[in-house]
Amino acid sequence: MSSKAIREYDAKLLLAYWLQRAPAPNPNFAPSPSSTLKFPAPRVAQILWDPATDSITPDTLLPSWVSTTKLVAKPDQLIKRRGKAGLLALNKDWQDAKKWIQDRAGKPQRVESVTGTLSSFIVEPFLPHPSDSEYYICITSGRDADTLLFTTSGGVDVGDVDAKALKLDIPVLGPFPTRAELQTTLLREVPSHKKEVLTDFLVRLYSVYVDLHFAYLEINPLVVLDDGSIHYLDMAAKLDQTAESICGPKWAVARDLTVYETAPAASTNGSKVNADRGPPMAWPAPFGRDLTKEEAYIQKLDASTGASLKLTVLNPNGRVWTMVAGGGASVVYSDAIAAAGFAHELANYGEYSGAPSEGQTFEYAKTILDLLTRPPPRPDGKVLIIGGGIANFTNVAATFKGIIRALTSYKTQLIAHNAKIYVRRGGPNWQEGLKAMRLLGESIPHVDIDIAAQTNTGESLGVPIRVFGPDTHITEIVPLALGLKSTTSTTAPVSIPATAPGSPKVSSAISEPGASDVGTIHADGERTQPNDVVVRFDSAEGTKGTRPAYRPFDEDTRSFVYGLQPRAIQGMLDFDYSCKRARPSVAAMIYPFGGHHIQKFYWGTRETLLPVYTSLEEAVKKHPDVDVVVNFASSRSVYSSTMECLGYESIKAIALIAEGVPERQAREILWKAKEKGVLIIGPATVGGIKPGCFRIGNSGGMMDNIIASKLYRPGSVGYVSKSGGMSNELNNILSLVTNGTYEGIAIGGDRYPGSTFIDHLLRYEDDPGCKMLVLLGEVGGVEEYRVIEAVKSGRIKKPIVAWAIGTCASMFTTEVQFGHAGSMAHSDSETAAAKNKAMREAGFIVPATFEELPAALKNTYDALIAQGVIVPTKEVEPPVIPMDYKWAQELGLIRKPAAFISTISDERGQELLYAGMRISDVFREDIGLGGVVSLLWFKRRLPPWATKFIEMVLMLTADHGPAVSGAMNTIVATRAGKDLISSLASGLLTIGSRFGGALDEAASMFSGARDMGLTPREFVDNSRKANKLISGIGHKIKSVNNPDLRVELVKEYVRKNFPSHSLLDYALAVEKVTTSKKDTLILNVDGCIAVCFVDLLRDSGAFTSEEADEYIKIGTLNGLFVLGRSIGFIGHHLDQKRLRAPLYRHPADDIFINIADLSQPRVLGKMQ
Contact 429, 395 (CB under 8 A): yes
Bridge partners, residue 775, by sequence: 720, 802
The DSSP letter of residue 747 is: -
Rounded Cα distance between 763 and 766, Å, is 5
H or E segment and range at residue 352:
strand 348-353
- Of the candidates 213, 231, 760, 820, the residue annotated as catalytic is 820
Rounded Cα distance between 825 and 975, Å, is 71
Q: Which residues of 1094-1132 are buried (b: 16+ CB within 10 A; e: fewer)?
A: bbbbbbbebbeeeebbebbeeebbbebbbbbbbebbbeb
Rounded Cα distance between 660 and 749, Å, is 10
Rounded Cα distance between 544 and 556, Å, is 8
In degrees, rounded to 5, the angle at the alpha carbon of residue 902 between the alpha carbons of residues 897 and 904 is: 155
CA nearest to 405, candidates 368, 344, 359, 353? 359
Cα radius of gyration (the chain): 38
Q: Which residues of 828-867 are buried (b: 16+ CB within 10 A; e: fewer)?
A: eebbbbbbbebbeebebbbbeebbebbebbbebbeebeee
Rounded Cα distance between 1093 and 1063, Å, is 9
Per DSSP (E only), the strands in 358-447 are: 382-386, 419-424
Contact 399, 361 (CB under 8 A): yes
Rounded Cα distance between 1051 and 949, Å, is 11
Contact 786, 757 (CB under 8 A): yes
Rounded Cα distance between 686 and 391, Å, is 11
CA nearest to 417, candidates 313, 322, 317, 485? 317
CA nearest to 284, candidates 7, 44, 3? 7
Cβ count within 10 A of residue 649: 11
CA nearest to 840, candidates 811, 867, 800? 800
Rounded Cα distance between 959 and 1123, Å, is 11
Q: First vs last Cα of the chain: how many Å apart?
A: 88
CA nearest to 116, candidates 191, 49, 212, 209? 49
- Tell me how far the alpha carbon of residue 354 is from its chain's centroid: 7
Cβ count within 10 A of residue 538: 12
Rounded Cα distance between 1131 and 1115, Å, is 25
In degrees, rounded to 5, the angle at the alpha carbon of residue 1012 between the alpha carbons of residues 1010 and 1015 is: 55
820 is catalytic: yes
Rounded Cα distance between 790 and 784, Å, is 10
Helix runs in 846-896, H state only = 853-866, 885-890
Cβ count within 10 A of residue 396: 24
Rounded Cα distance between 167 and 154, Å, is 15
Rounded Cα distance between 358 and 378, Å, is 31
Contact 426, 390 (CB under 8 A): yes
- Tell me how far the alpha carbon of residue 1031 is from its chain's centroid: 58
- Tell me how far the alpha carbon of residue 548 is from its chain's centroid: 39
Contact 495, 435 (CB under 8 A): no
Q: Hey, which residues are catalytic here? A: 820
